[in-house]
Chain A
Amino acid sequence: EPEVTQTPSHQVTQMGQEVILRCVPISNHLYFYWYRQILGQKVEFLVSFYNNEISEKSEIFDDQFSVERPDGSNFTLKIRSTKLEDSAMYFCASSERHEQYFGPGTRLTVT
């Protein structure tokens, strides 16, 4: 069964450093998303992406964040200058229609 994959599973970085989180969505899906979950809190939407452009973004997704689909398979989230409060689990998801399928997540720890 096709699945969304994410790398790395865990990333530790120092405050102020840039990180890139990678995702491979399900191959025939057209819509891509990033969400995050701070430990013990609810899952929050960051950004959605369709037809090679951002279709919606939340207030969290400020100028420090960017997304890219550099080739036909990868979908990346870049955080330019990480802050302590960026520590969270980051989930990528993709969908063809209503159902969004999630990857296993990348745990980002900012020290």
Chain B
Amino acid sequence: GDSVTQMEGPVTLSEEAFLTINCTYTATGYPSLFWYVQYPGEGLQLLLKATKADDKGSNKGFEATYRKETTSFHLEKGSVQVSDSAVYFCALSERYGNKLVFGAGTILRVKS
């Protein structure tokens, strides 16, 4: 079945550092890919998405590019802030109306 693998955390960075969180996936078809963020004590918020190969999703300074050849969707940000501290989940969905399959989540801690 479909699966998502994320780099293990926690990832601890200093403010203004460059962030990469790796995500790779296994799917039978051509899924849509997502990054969700969960701030402490809150629900899941959609951060960005890409629905086909070579699409780049971006939001709030975060970016991820759908790479079919490497089955990856790595999350990047050029300069992190303390307020970016959260848990980041990579997820896929085979088609709209279908379930999301989540990775295990990566804790990001940003120190000032």
Binding site for B on A (CB under 8 A): 30-31, 33, 35, 41-45, 48, 50, 55-56, 58, 91, 93, 95, 97-105
Contact = CB atoms under 8 A, between A and B. Distances in A.
B103 to A, nearest CB: 7
Nearest to B36: A102
Interface string B36-71: 100000111110010100000000000000000000
A102 B43 contact: yes
Interface of B: 32, 34, 36, 42-46, 49, 51, 89, 91, 93, 96-105
Per DSSP, chain A at the interface is strand
30 contacts: A30-B97, A31-B96, A41-B104, A42-B89, A42-B102, A42-B103, A43-B44, A43-B89, A43-B100, A43-B105, A45-B99, A45-B101, A48-B97, A48-B98, A56-B98, A56-B99, A58-B99, A93-B100, A95-B96, A97-B96, A98-B32, A99-B34, A99-B49, A100-B100, A101-B46, A102-B44, A102-B45, A102-B46, A104-B43, A105-B43
A50 B96 CA distance: 11
A42 B36 CA distance: 12
B99 A48 contact: yes
B45 to A, nearest CB: 7
B94 to A, nearest CB: 10
B105 A42 contact: yes
- Pick from A33, A58, A102 the residue with the most CB of B within 10 Å: A102
Given A91-B43, A99-B49, 19 more contacts: A30-B97, A31-B96, A33-B99, A35-B100, A41-B104, A42-B89, A43-B44, A45-B99, A48-B97, A56-B99, A58-B99, A91-B44, A95-B97, A99-B46, A100-B46, A100-B100, A101-B46, A102-B44, A102-B45
B6 to A, nearest CB: 9
A104 B42 contact: yes
A102 B34 CA distance: 13
